Amino acid sequence: MIDLRSDTVTRPTAAMRQAMAEAEVGDDVYGEDPTVARLEELSAERMGMEAGLLLPSGTMANQVAIYTHTRRGDEVIVEAEAHCYYYEVGAMAALAGVQARTVAGDRGYVAPQQLAAAVRPDQLQFPRTRLLCIENTHNRAGGAVIGLERMQATIGAARRLGIRVHVDGARIFHAQVATGTPAAELVRGADSAMFCLSKGLCAPVGSVLVGSKEFIAEARKTRKLFGGGMRQAGILAAAGIVALTEMVDRLGEDHQRARRLAVALAEMGFAVDPRTCETNMVVMDTEPTGVDGATWVSRLAAAGVQVGATGPWRLRLVTHRDVSGPDIEETIRVFARFADRKSA
Ligand code: TLP
């Protein structure tokens, strides 16, 4: 099976398994795990922030950030299809007790004027707008990158408007590799950011939240509240250190493979726009084929290719380390078999 459902399906590398076996560990709830401490420091440094906090998932990292930044009844501005709103089980309402105000972005990008229009004036009946969440790369926009200028424009606007900024950088290193701009530059001025060690970077588990020392101290308490305090987590952090130090630069390979796939599918006449393939995701609109996403998923699975349906008429194909160049060529051949059915 060629698994293009997500870049979360990667297995840890041999170097990771070895580092995990040999990791020096301690009880991290007591703050005694040296490997976790090392990963958190390294993460903060890579992201240009003061401190870091290891969490079990990207979802928990986002929700710990939202909970820590806000008070019940606050409003949080999110892009209309942001992961923390769209895919996190309503957690910002259920856990932090805040409501989302959604803004439809340009491929995930919320411009300063849109932000300014969404911030609530100081008025008795309104909730307080406390936080803006920016997602980079943007998952449902097909791995779209928000470049330096746009990131800084919106972060700067949020600061002037007096609201905090959290960056869901689950795939911020994909943005770094695609733009050549260090992740720390992209998130400069934000109050917090998180990135995932287990998406594309191949670690088995883990996301890191970064921010100021005070913010991370508070977030550490929220993590405990959410049941996310981990004990000998150095076993996981060891793989995370390998992810961060050895796996970032190879992401460019995933981007090239996604592009090769996007161009080939477009050439066969499928509704794929290669111009929107900026990182490791390919999005295909199945509507012109007259066949819905779920049917395409089973059709392709029967031919040895697993993909995801991210809407009734939409497929998402994600490249990662466990999908090789020959796997991409095979995927193209499988699609070619269906090319005669590309239109209804
Ligand atoms: N995304 C997953 C699914 O949940 C959709 C995927 O396969 O892409 N932020 C962003 C931008 C994400 O894409 C994800 C995971 C998360 C947060 C949550 O991370 P986890 O899955 O570790 O909770």
Confidence at residue 127, expressed as pLDDT on a 0 to 100 scale: 98
What DSSP character marks residue 124?
Answer: T
Q: How far is the CA of 170 from the centre of ligand 1 (A)?
A: 7
CATH 3.40.640.10 for domain 10-246, yes or no, is yes
Query: How far, in Å, CA of 265 to CA of 123, rounded?
Result: 52
pTM of the model: 0.98
CATH 3.40.50.620 for domain 250-339, yes or no, is no
Pocket test for ligand 1, best of 138, 139, 173, 236 (most atoms within 8 A of CB): 139
Share above pLDDT 70 across residues of the chain, in percent, rounded to a whole number: 99
Hey, whose CA ends up nearest to atom 20 of ligand 1? 58
Hey, whose CA ends up nearest to atom 5 of ligand 1? 87
Cis peptide bond prior to 137, omega within 30° of 0:
yes
Summarised one tens digit per residue, pLDDT across range 243-278 is 999 999 999 999 999 999 999 999 999 999 999 999
Question: What backbone phi and psi angles, to 5 degrees, belong to 277?
Answer: -90, 90
Query: How far, in Å, CA of 178 to CA of 109, rounded?
Result: 16
Asked if residue 70 has its Cβ within 6 Å of ligand 1, the reply is no
Confidence at residue 339, expressed as pLDDT on a 0 to 100 scale: 81
Element (H or E) spanning 267, and its range? helix 251-267
The tokens describing 197, both together, are 């060690």
The tokens describing 109, both together, are 């990008």
Asked if residue 20 has its Cβ within 6 Å of ligand 1, the reply is no
Q: Mean pLDDT across the stretch 74-98?
A: 98
Asked if residue 7 has its Cβ within 6 Å of ligand 1, the reply is no
Confidence at residue 342, expressed as pLDDT on a 0 to 100 scale: 54
* Average pLDDT score, the chain: 97
Which atom of ligand 1 has the smallest separation from the CA of 138? Answer: 11
Hey, whose CA ends up nearest to atom 15 of ligand 1? 58
Pocket test for ligand 1, best of 55, 87, 320 (most atoms within 8 A of CB): 87
The pLDDT of residue 340 is above 90: no
Hey, whose CA ends up nearest to atom 17 of ligand 1? 58
Distance of CA 117 to the CA centre of its chain: 26
The pLDDT of residue 129 is above 60: yes
Q: How far is the CA of 124 from the centre of ligand 1 (A)?
A: 36
The pLDDT of residue 189 is above 50: yes
Q: Mean pLDDT across the stretch 272-292?
A: 97
Summarised one tens digit per residue, pLDDT across range 190-202 is 999 999 999 999 9
- Sorted by where each begins, the domain ranges of the chain are 10-246, 250-339
Q: How far is the CA of 341 from the centre of ligand 1 (A)?
A: 32
Q: Mean pLDDT across the stretch 132-160?
A: 98
Q: Mean pLDDT across the stretch 302-323?
A: 98
Confidence at residue 341, expressed as pLDDT on a 0 to 100 scale: 60
Query: How far, in Å, CA of 262 to CA of 275, rounded?
Result: 9
Confidence at residue 344, expressed as pLDDT on a 0 to 100 scale: 44
Query: How far, in Å, CA of 143 to CA of 283, rounded?
Result: 9
Q: Number of helices and strands (H, E) in the chain?
A: 14, 12
